[in-house]
């Protein structure tokens, strides 16, 4: 019978076969206590000299941390154990005796841990964070599928920039110059004329020279796009989705949140609708809070932190000036210097987690805008076609997965929110 530790409560009194890794061992001569994990959870196992064969006990004595084993034994309830259950081992076999594990219980520096990321992933904390990440991915897919969005996978290798030309990673494509995708948005804009609503979810790349706690060079983005969706409806969709993600994590990741010692009260207190401030109101607010930002400037990381230490709920900043926003945003009909754009900022000091807006749907205005930006129109002909053949008002947004994970797990740095982080100085392991 195949057994998983997470199902221990259904096997009380039964003999089961457990396959896993020993991550801790304590011995009092004739009794050995093993902490074992199998991927689904952890359990304490006890092996007593006078209750097993001498072969089994010898194996247990030889064990060192991170060795793999098969243990046969009985599951018991054990209220004193942090896991609630214990296994009384009857038979034990070593599958692979580990070499001495380089990561110990003592504190290690972050660079050491990142160079050993392939081994660090096994720690309980990393296990918990990456399971929460998995739950967030599931919640995003579930939410969008329920809202009738079709997953349309955007390409990774692209001929043109979506988010400005300064952060492109070039790829030599059989002699042609192409780039790693910064966002699948432009392809989803093509998708909406076929599917109405669609989304992608995949790796995106930015050659960001920034060394902040919020920037990776490879990160996962979900882009969603919908035909006939106007700006205000977009904000409603975004907040509904973020709220759904938080509820799913609170409901399904109780153990993981406990392991990482996340105070869940700020998450439990999040309510709909989220607050909305225009860019102009945000600048005034920031100046009140002591920032030296001036009207016309983009928010820096510090501004986001100041703002989101003040606000306890997620906050939409809307209608940024066109001067520092991408070419595709539609202008506000009330003030053509402003765009129908928005960033969603997360509380507890976290800052931007999504960015989106309504798209320019007029061929000529879009073309003028692209010329102003000195984009190579030839690379975007296919994109301009979308305004020639059945254009429609439409909106969409992009969600940075690692930013959401970092906020929900309250991580110090975004690098812990992804299995193998890529930053300006790190592309291994
Ligand atoms: O705000 P951004 O640049 O928006 C876009 O790329 C749009 N094309 C999306 C769309 O409208 N479909 O990026 C979207 C989100 C940001 O809000 C942020 O959460 C995340 O992606 N992000 C990053 N995450 C980690 N490291 C980086 N270097 C990031 N850059 C953006
Ligand atoms: Mg942005």
Each residue of 193-206: pLDDT tens digit?
Answer: 999 999 999 999 99
Regarding the beta carbon of 423 and ligand 1, being less than 6 Å apart is answered no
DSSP code of 121?
Answer: T
For residue 165, name the pLDDT band (cuts at 50, 70, 90): confident
Query: Is the pLDDT score of 69 beyond 80?
Result: yes
The ligand whose atoms approach the alpha carbon of 198 most closely is 1
Q: For residue 1, what pLDDT is reported?
A: 58
Q: Do the first three CATH levels of 5-96 and 117-417 match, i.e. the same topology?
A: no
Nearest CA to ligand 1 atom 7: 398
Domain at 117-417, CATH from 3.30.930.10, 3.40.630.10, 3.40.190.290, 1.10.150.80: 3.30.930.10
> Between vectors from CA 338 to CA 336 and to CA 343, what angle results, nearest 5°?
155
Q: Which one of 133, 403, 423 would you pick to mutate in the ligand 1 pocket, going by the greatest count of ligand atoms within 8 A of its CB?
A: 403
Cβ(92)–Cβ(25) below 8 Å: no
> Of 164, 268, 219, 236, whose CA–CA distance to 404 is shortest?
219
The ligand whose atoms approach the alpha carbon of 183 most closely is 1
Percent share of the chain, pLDDT over 90: 95
Rounded mean pLDDT of the chain? Answer: 96
Distance 313 CA to ligand 2 centre (A): 19
Q: For residue 292, what pLDDT is reported?
A: 96
- Per-residue pLDDT, averaged over 411-420, amounts to 97
Distance of CA 190 to the CA centre of its chain: 26
- pLDDT, tens digit, for every residue of 41-60? 999 999 999 999 999 999 99
Q: Could you give the CA distance from residue 217 to residue 220 in angstroms, rounded to a whole number? A: 10
The ligand whose atoms approach the alpha carbon of 400 most closely is 1
DSSP code of 155?
Answer: P
Q: Which one of 355, 406, 411 would you pick to mutate in the ligand 1 pocket, going by the greatest count of ligand atoms within 8 A of its CB?
A: 355
DSSP code of 381?
Answer: H
Q: Could you give the CA distance from residue 362 to residue 297 in angstroms, rounded to a whole number? A: 27
Read off the tokens for 332.
């506000």
Per domain, the residue ranges of the chain are 5-96, 117-417
Q: For the domain 5-96, what is the CATH superfamily, name and number?
A: Nucleic acid-binding proteins (2.40.50.140)
Regarding the beta carbon of 297 and ligand 1, being less than 6 Å apart is answered no
Distance 33 CA to ligand 1 centre (A): 47
First to last CA, the chain: 36
Nearest CA to ligand 1 atom 6: 183
Nearest CA to ligand 1 atom 9: 398
SS3 135: helix
DSSP code of 426?
Answer: B
Regarding the beta carbon of 356 and ligand 1, being less than 6 Å apart is answered yes
Distance 110 CA to ligand 2 centre (A): 28
Strand partners, 306: none
The ligand whose atoms approach the alpha carbon of 164 most closely is 1
Regarding the beta carbon of 47 and ligand 1, being less than 6 Å apart is answered no
Q: Could you give the CA distance from residue 93 to residue 148 in angstroms, rounded to a whole number? A: 51
DSSP code of 324?
Answer: G
Distance 354 CA to ligand 1 centre (A): 6
Dump the DSSP string for 60-86. Answer: HHH--TT-EEEEEEEEEE-TTSTTSEE
- pLDDT, tens digit, for every residue of 84-97? 999 999 999 999 99
The 3-class SS string of 163-227 reads CCHHHCCEEEECCEEEEECCCCHHHHHHHHHHHCEEEEEEEEECCCCCCCCCCCCEEEEEEEEEE
Q: For residue 249, what pLDDT is reported?
A: 98
> Of 171, 154, 174, whose CA–CA distance to 207 is shortest?
171
- pLDDT, tens digit, for every residue of 327-362? 999 999 999 999 999 999 999 999 999 999 999 999
Strand partners, 70: 19, 93
Query: 319 Cβ partners below 8 Å, 6+ apart?
Result: 278, 279, 280, 332, 335, 338, 339, 340, 341, 342
CA distances from 104 to 100, 107, 126, 175, 276 (A): 10, 8, 15, 48, 46
Distance 210 CA to ligand 1 centre (A): 14
- pLDDT, tens digit, for every residue of 252-289? 999 999 999 999 999 999 999 999 999 999 999 999 99
Distance 299 CA to ligand 1 centre (A): 14
Regarding the beta carbon of 347 and ligand 1, being less than 6 Å apart is answered no
């Amino acid at each position: 019978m195949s057994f998983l530790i997470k199902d221990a409560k259904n096997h009380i009194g039964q003999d089961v076969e457990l396959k896993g890794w020993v991550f801790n061992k304590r011995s009092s001569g004739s009794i050995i206590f093993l902490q074992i994990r199998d991927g689904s959870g952890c359990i304490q196992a006890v092996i007593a000299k006078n209750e097993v064969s001498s072969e089994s006990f010898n194996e247990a004595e030889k064990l060192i941390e991170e060795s793999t084993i098969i243990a046969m034994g009985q599951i018991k309830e054990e209220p004193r154990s942090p896991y609630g259950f214990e296994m009384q081992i009857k038979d034990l076999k070593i599958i692979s005796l580990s070499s001495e594990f380089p990561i110990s219980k003592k504190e290690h520096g972050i660079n050491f841990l990142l160079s050993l990321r392939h081994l660090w992933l096994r720690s309980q904390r990393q296990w918990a964070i990456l399971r929460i990440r998995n739950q967030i991915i599931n919640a995003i897919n579930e939410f969008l599928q329920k809202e009738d969005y079709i997953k349309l996978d955007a390409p990774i290798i692209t001929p043109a920039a979506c988010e400005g030309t300064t952060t492109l990673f070039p790829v030599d494509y059989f002699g042609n110059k192409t780039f790693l995708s910064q966002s699948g948005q432009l392809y989803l804009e093509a998708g909406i004329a076929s599917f109405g609503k669609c989304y992608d979810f995949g790796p995106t790349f930015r050659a960001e020279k920034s060394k902040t706690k919020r920037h990776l060079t490879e990160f996962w983005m979900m882009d969603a796009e919908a035909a006939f969706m106007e700006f205000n409806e977009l904000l409603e969709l975004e907040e509904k989705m973020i709220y759904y993600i938080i509820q799913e994590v609170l409901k399904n990741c109780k153990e993981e949140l406990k392991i990482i010692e996340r105070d869940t009260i700020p998450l439990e207190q999040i309510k709909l609708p989220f607050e909305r401030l225009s860019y102009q109101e945000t600048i005034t607010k920031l100046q009140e809070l002591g920032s030296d930002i001036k009207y016309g400037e983009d928010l820096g990381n510090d501004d986001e932190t100041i703002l989101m230490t003040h606000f306890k709920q997620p906050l939409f900043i809307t209608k940024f000036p066109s001067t520092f926003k991408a070419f595709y945003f539609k202008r506000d009909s009330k003030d053509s210097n402003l765009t129908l754009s928005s960033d969603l900022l997360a509380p507890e000091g976290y800052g931007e987690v999504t960015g989106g807006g309504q798209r320019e749907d007029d061929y000529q205005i879009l073309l003028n805008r692209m010329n102003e930006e000195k984009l190579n129109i030839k690379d975007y002909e296919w994109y301009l076609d979308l305004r020639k053949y059945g254009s429609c008002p439409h909106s969409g947004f992009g969600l940075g997965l690692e930013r959401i994970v970092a906020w929900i797990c309250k991580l110090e740095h975004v690098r812990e929110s992804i299995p193998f982080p890529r930053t300006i100085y790190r592309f291994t392991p």
